[in-house]
A and B are shown apart, each in its own frame.
Chain A
Amino acid sequence: MSEQTTGDVIDSVLGLEAGSELKALREKREKLKALTQSSYLAALRPKEPRNFPYPLRAAIAARMSALWKADELAAHYRGLLEQEGSTAELLNVADSGWTPEDGQSRLAAILRHVDLVTLNPKAATRANIEALHAAGLDDRDIVTLAGLIAFVNYQILVVAGLKMLRDN
């Protein structure tokens, strides 16, 4: 595996070196820290990526990080996208201001869901899941997408909280 996915991603995006006080604090919750990293691998680089290839996962993660202005994570995920094999379209996906021209496409439906559930999850309803079904996603795809969105939002909140501790 590449340097983007080995080591601890959160330590790395926060620039926590050996000897840092915050790194030592995180290590008091060693199990939680390790499971956060293994959850990252399960969300971004699962053994069976199925209908969500690694580069698409990285691009969607970069987009969600950009939506919350989580600059360090956005940079990390753009780097990961580069390594996984980027395309012009995936670079667009990573840009939180971009939406596909064909609003009826599978990708457009996926990104509408990503944007909604990232920024305004309380507004999500059954109709949003029906829209994903209508765009051709199966039940497992929907759980895959929900899991990716949910994990990256968790990571964004953890990084935001840790930055507060690092900088104060």
Chain B
Amino acid sequence: MTVVNDFTLEPLDWHPYVKPVDLSAATPEQLDALKVTPSNTKVSAYVLVLAQEAETLAERTPLFNDIMYSEGGLSRGGRELGALAASFVNHCVYCAAVHANRYIQLEKRPEVVDEIYRSGLDADLPEYDQALFNFGVDLTAHPDNVGVYQFYHLREKGLDDLEILDLIHSVAIFGWANRLMHTLGEPHRKD
């Protein structure tokens, strides 16, 4: 097994530090919470760990999906960029790999991700992407210091209220996800 501590775009496995729920012994409430996850064929170790608290998982999965996939507002790619910024600040290597790859699939602009992987929080990006990325970094690193400066940077690049609302949530839900994924387990290179 190879633990991965540095950011990578390679596919990774996630290995928990705590026991996942054993599917064959799962309670009806756990099974119900597990059912609503997008991967219907194989339940991931991550979701099986979270199923220890089924009541929370049952709310969290649809919340995550609505934040990342709802119609209208900020583009899907823009939301992935918010997720990626948060994951870089919080050093969630697994989250970053998943959402960087999703951004590339959606936007077909691997150069944006390449620059973030090269320069990290100092990434020098095209203006619009820079505004989204910087907001994700600032809100994640300093939620006590986000205000007029961040707001006008987003407005200047043409984001309307709903797009800003969607960006806030895509960053915030990774403040949540990173604090689970990065603290409850670690990424390994796929064998």
Contact = CB atoms under 8 A, between A and B. Distances in A.
A128 B183 CA distance: 8
Given A25-B165, A143-B50, A153-B179, A42 B56 contact: yes
Contacts of B1: none
B91 interface: yes
B50 to A, nearest CB: 7
Contacts of B124: none
Interface of A is mostly: helix
B103 to A, nearest CB: 20
Interface in A21-55: 25-26, 28-29, 31-32, 35-36, 38-39, 42-43, 46-48
Given A32-B63, A46-B56, A168-B151, A146 B184 contact: yes
B4 interface: no
A143 B152 CA distance: 39
Contacts of B60: 39, 42
Contacts of A70: 143-144
Interface of B is mostly: helix
A76 to B, nearest CB: 16
Nearest to A142: B18
Most B CB contacts (10 A, CB to CB) among A46, A146, A162 go to A146
B144 A68 contact: yes
Contacts of A28: 73, 162, 165
A101 B77 CA distance: 48
A35 B183 contact: no
Interface size class of A (residues with CB under 8 A): 35 or more
Interface of B: 17-19, 49-50, 52-53, 55-56, 58-60, 62-63, 66-67, 70, 73, 89-92, 139-140, 143-144, 146-148, 150-152, 161-162, 164-169, 171-173, 175-180, 182-184, 186
Interface of A: 25-26, 28-29, 31-32, 35-36, 38-39, 42-43, 46-48, 68-70, 117, 121-122, 124, 126, 128-130, 139-140, 142-144, 146-147, 149-151, 153-158, 160-165, 167-168
30 contacts: A28-B162, A29-B169, A31-B70, A32-B67, A42-B55, A42-B56, A42-B58, A47-B55, A48-B55, A68-B143, A68-B144, A122-B89, A122-B92, A129-B17, A142-B184, A143-B18, A147-B50, A147-B56, A149-B179, A150-B179, A154-B175, A157-B139, A157-B175, A160-B139, A160-B144, A160-B146, A162-B168, A164-B146, A165-B161, A168-B147
